[in-house]
Chains A and B, each alone.
Chain A
């Protein structure tokens, strides 16, 4: 700028140039932004129109459908009068014994499924971590297997397993287990890939083999995270296992399917309320356990 500062007219010209360049650049940026917005908006609109057409949705259906749902939900509510409150509630929950037994099945299915899924994920996650895998080919195979298990929903697995193993909670447990293995395996291996390298280097330097490396350098670091993810998965699996009974894989779902299909209105609300309560209880318990886990980790 030394040459320009000696010449005031030159300085003004240079400043003018700078301003026009700035303005031009700004116009260009604005234009590209507008073009992008229009293109993106157009694409989005096309997607909406296409989706509306494909899923046979129309405004008329909406206007019809929503009040229908409100009426439906209202229809399921039981008649509970304050003067015979206890008797009314008892009548509403007439099948409580059997329902609780089915609900226990649902929760136990989620528990066993999570257990199997965690065990499978634990075995698969070390070869499926980029930094720990013994061989590149093993890494790719493990990752693809986990991807497949994660991508196929548990209900699809359950459909096939019910065919192979027969009706009951067993195919449900296996379906939840396979899907959880995929979901947890991916999360676990991501945790493994973010470990501090120090302990691993230490075990390697002391001449430890692969198993010793995993056992003494990796597992102690990742276990709290694994436990937290497992608890979170258990919450998800309780929700998932509640519907596996729809296709004959045990639990409260089969009862729910029957009462919804046969329009036994009052039982629908009873079962749904029971289910919401159970899910909420399990969520709160798991949340507390998770908080304690994280707390214990933070203190050390």
Chain B
């Protein structure tokens, strides 16, 4: 393809190039800007590598050790504690379930309060939304660490941590769902002489419930994952066992626990996906999953 097609002369190509310069090459200013941008990006990466001590020797040794650990993990063994491990796994699921449920319950009133079309008070709306964002900005593990101080070691701290950190997220999603409801249903309920509470119950709630339930289920999935690690700070569940086994170098048991986590999370994902599909089938709302979750 080195020669021009027969029906295009050199002059015609030149004319095209003059008429549409950007189709053939970028202007020099833009090229310089891009080069500077890429150089800055490379510089930032180099700075990070230096600051974080990414020495080749350290990496080499680390990966060698990692391979050795993987060898130690195989074959995985339950170490004579299958009952204990299963109980811890169930406790993790229970923490995720209760935490998500409590967060969902709290999110209903909070979501109504935070929706612009329910409480049309500008400053209140702004303040409450920023509060939701603030709660959301703190990871569940930080909440768990604080709750361990307040209510002591054990799964209760984990339940509360998940409930608090997710109530911000779910309330935000719920408020956004309420702000996007169909206006005509609300007008219809108003027109039939309903009061404010009845408008919320019959005009808004039926529209947002399927979406919100599907969000809550999605967060249950993601919380199952977060609940597996809350035990690291003493908030119960499988994470406690995992951190313990790593501390005492029982890598075959670590391998077993990892496989347990994989299996449990996969099963929960499957169940939740089935229920979510059914929910969305029932309500006509689109199945938009919040991509911001894990």
Task: Enumerate chain A interface residues (CB-CB to B < 8 A).
Answer: 47-48, 50-57, 61, 64-65, 68-69, 72, 105, 108-109, 111-112, 115, 147-148, 151-153, 155-156, 159-161, 163-166, 168-171, 173, 183, 187, 229, 232, 235-236, 239-240, 242-243, 246-247, 250, 256-257, 260-261, 263, 268, 272, 275-276, 279-280, 283
Asked if B265 and A151 sit within 8 Å, CB to CB, the answer is yes
Query: B232 contacts which chain A residues (CB < 8 A)?
Result: 155, 159, 246-247
Q: Contacts of B138 on A, CB cut-off 8 Å? A: 272, 275-276
Chain B proximity of A267: nearest CB distance (Å): 13
Cβ contacts under 8 Å, A229 to chain B: 291
List of B residues within 8 angstroms of A183 by Cβ: 294
> Given A148-B262, A183-B294 in contact, is the A168-B139 Cβ separation under 8 Å?
no
Taking each of A47, A52, A159, A236, which has the highest tally of chain B beta carbons within 10 Å of its own beta carbon?
A159
Q: Which residues of B contact A (CB under 8 A)?
A: 44-45, 48-49, 51-54, 58-59, 62-63, 65-66, 69, 87, 90-91, 93-95, 97-98, 101, 133-134, 137-139, 141-142, 145-147, 149-151, 154-156, 158-160, 164, 225-226, 228-229, 232-233, 236, 242-243, 246, 254, 258, 261-262, 265-266, 291-292, 294
Q: Which of A69, A239, A257 contacts B160 (CB 8 A)?
A: A69
CA distance in complex: A168, B145 (Å): 21
- The distance in angstroms between the C-alpha atoms of A234 and B80, with both chains bound, is 41
Judging by beta carbons under 8 Å apart, are B149 and A260 in contact? yes
Chain A nearest CB from B283 CB (Å) reads 15
Contacts of A236 in B (CB 8 A): 292, 294
Q: Which of A173, A246, A250 contacts B145 (CB 8 A)?
A: A246
Whether B150 and A65, one on each chain, are in contact in the complex, defined by CB atoms closer than 8 angstroms, is yes
Which secondary structure characterizes the binding site on chain A? helix
Question: Which of B141, B160, B242 gathers most chain A CB within 10 Å?
Answer: B141
Determine which of B52, B242, B266 lies in contact with A108 in the assembled complex, contact meaning CB atoms within 8 Å: B52
Instruction: Please name 20 further chain A to chain B contacts, defined as beta carbons within 8 Å, in addition to the given A54-B91, A55-B91, A243-B141, sorted by A numbering.
Output: A48-B98, A52-B98, A53-B94, A69-B160, A112-B45, A153-B225, A160-B254, A164-B63, A165-B65, A168-B53, A170-B54, A170-B62, A171-B62, A187-B291, A229-B291, A239-B139, A260-B142, A260-B145, A268-B146, A275-B138
- Which residues of chain A come closer than 8 Å to B48, judged between CB atoms? 108, 111-112
Q: State how many angstroms separate the Cβ of A55 from the closest Cβ of chain B.
A: 4
Chain A residue with the shortest CB-CB distance to B67: A164
Cβ contact within 8 Å between B52 and A173: yes
By a CB distance below 8 angstroms, the chain B residues around A52 are: 94, 98
Q: How far is the CA of A246 from the CA of B242 in the complex (A)?
A: 15
